Chains A and B, each alone.
With several copies, the nearest count.
Chain A
């Protein structure tokens, strides 16, 4: 960029930039610090990263902070151009896969049986395999019930790939029961709370309100 001050390749920011551009995977702050001979304080490092992010703010590629660190990636707005170059629409997961993923993300850790109860249908092995192969879920333990079913949870790679830093950044669950007229409104933020969503049957709630 012409308006960037000319910097020497030895400059710390240029080193960070080069390392991040070449990394592909998110790089942790700890790894980034290992780039430098003398210790670069965590604060300095963070400041440099913020400056870098700012420098890249007007470009097709952006520097983002994810669950497992920092990386450069194309902006979403750049997708039409990516498609011209790749001649291809990247694949989308089927609804079955996405629903399974959502249940694992919001209700983790869950067993395959839990997922089947919630979806009301059996969950094929290939769906679980797809999510495992993508590195988005893994087995974090077993439930101590007959058969010791595996407990699935989402991984850091899942967060990274969806541009999130933590599970708290997942889109909040919609309060489906909002049509309830009798019950006092539940806390707006009440996260995965099956009970509050399901609780009330109001036999005389007016059907007029759509």
Chain B
């Protein structure tokens, strides 16, 4: 922030404000990305402060609070999910601002702590950790940047690898990252249970070739399972994995694997 750059457009508490904050315009499409990009109110505040090269130890509360509130407003008017922490911070900023506006006798001012002290402490501590995170991320990471060597061991009897659910999670995480499978963000538990029942139905049809529709349902297992089974049947039919036939109205409905004769 050089003095020669421009004439101040305003003075706020004696400090020249050289330019109007220009960084508040966020393209609408990018808003949600922005929301994701910030790790929380501290992160947003740091961004607003650093963006203007403000001295973190001498934060001008008024413009900062205004920018912060504008940002929060944008998020609210767009009905973005706004973490409660953002509102707590807004309240804290306004409180600090109002305390700074109150006139205080010089004597009191000297011994009273600057109302910004706590905020500054948190910002500095957070920024320090943020940088530490970057540096950790920059270290060569096993499995990402460097890979351990473990050549195949010739041995008589193979021990079987153990797999835990955490390993599946890890594998899926790798897949997600690599393929950026946006379509698969939406997979839910429910969908998984449908797919699980698809497998079950196929398995039963392999044993029995043909089953009557009703035989595939087990009312004893509750309504949820009935519904999921029905959804599984519909999905199987949609994917042409099974044939559902009925010779005439009210006749029994039969379910079989699609074109079993071909095999």
Task: Please say whether the chains A and B touch (CB closer than 8 A).
Answer: yes
* Residue pair A90, B174 in contact (C-beta under 8 Å): yes
Q: Is the CB of A99 within 8 A of B151?
A: no
> A143–B141 contact, CB under 8 A?
no
Contact B135 A121 (CB under 8 A): no
By the criterion CB–CB under 8 Å, are A102 and B57 in contact? no
Interface members, chain A 120-146 (any B CB < 8 Å): 120-122, 129-130, 133-134, 140-145
Instruction: Establish whether residues A173 and B163, one from each chain, have CB atoms under 8 Å apart when the complex forms.
Output: no
Residue of B nearest to A126 (CB): B169
A20 to chain B minimum Cβ distance, whole angstroms, is: 8
Give the Cβ gap from A172 to chain B, nearest Cβ, in Å. Answer: 5
Q: Mark out the residues of chain B between 117 and 150 whose CB falls within 8 Å of any chain A CB in the assembled complex.
A: 117, 120-122, 124-150
Contact A99 B146 (CB under 8 A): no
Instruction: For A140, list chain B residues within 8 Å (CB).
Output: 199, 202-203, 206
- Residue from the set A20, A61, A109, A192 with the largest chain B CB neighbour count within 10 Å: A192
- Complex CA distance for A177 and B176, rounded to whole angstroms: 7
A119–B239 alpha-carbon span in the complex (Å): 21
A102 to B133, Cβ gap below 8 A? yes
- On chain B, the number of residues with a Cβ less than 8 Å from chain A's Cβ atoms is 116
A134 and B170 within 8 A (CB): yes
Query: How many angstroms between the C-alpha atoms of A161 and B121 in the bound complex?
Result: 32
A88-101 contact mask (Cβ, 8 Å, vs B): 1 or 0: 11111101101101
> In this assembly, does A84 line the interface, its C-beta being within 8 Å of a C-beta of chain B?
no
Q: Which of A22, A134, A202 contacts B57 (CB 8 A)?
A: A202
Q: Which residues of B are found within 8 Å of A98, using beta-carbon distances?
A: 133-134, 136-137, 163, 167-168, 170-171
Q: Which of A23, A103, A105, A173 has the most CB of B within 10 A?
A: A173
Q: Which residue of A lies closest to B135 (CB)?
A: A171
Contact between B26 and A74 (Cβ–Cβ < 8 Å)?
Answer: no
* Interchain Cβ contacts within 8 Å, total number: 370
Most buried by A among B83, B116, B163: B163
Please give, as numbers and ranges, the residues of chain B lying within 8 Å of A181 by CB-CB distance: 177
Chain B residues within an 8 Å CB radius of A35: none
Q: Among B120, B140, B141, which residue has its beta carbon within 8 angstroms of that of A198? A: B120
Interface 9-residue window, one of A6-14, A37-45, A46-54, A148-156 = A148-156
Which residue from B139, B158, B172 sits with its C-beta under 8 Å from A176?
B172
Stretch of B61-69, B245-253, B255-263 at the chain-chain interface: B255-263
How far, in angstroms, from A24 to B147 measured CA to CA in the complex? 9
Bound form: Cα–Cα A154–B199 in Å: 8
CB distance A170 to B122 under 8 Å? no
Within 8 A of A (CB), among B168-214: 168-182, 184-185, 187-189, 192-193, 195-196, 198-199, 202-203, 205-206
**Can you name 27 A-B pairs with beta carbons within 8 Å?**
A22-B147, A24-B148, A73-B147, A92-B177, A102-B136, A102-B168, A106-B192, A107-B195, A119-B40, A119-B42, A121-B39, A122-B85, A129-B166, A141-B206, A142-B263, A153-B198, A153-B203, A164-B139, A171-B165, A176-B176, A177-B124, A179-B55, A180-B173, A182-B182, A194-B26, A205-B57, A205-B58
Chain B residues within 8 Å of A, Cβ to Cβ: 1-3, 15, 23, 25-27, 29-30, 33-34, 37-44, 47, 53-58, 83, 85, 89, 114, 116-117, 120-122, 124-155, 158-182, 184-185, 187-189, 192-193, 195-196, 198-199, 202-203, 205-206, 239-241, 257-259, 262-263
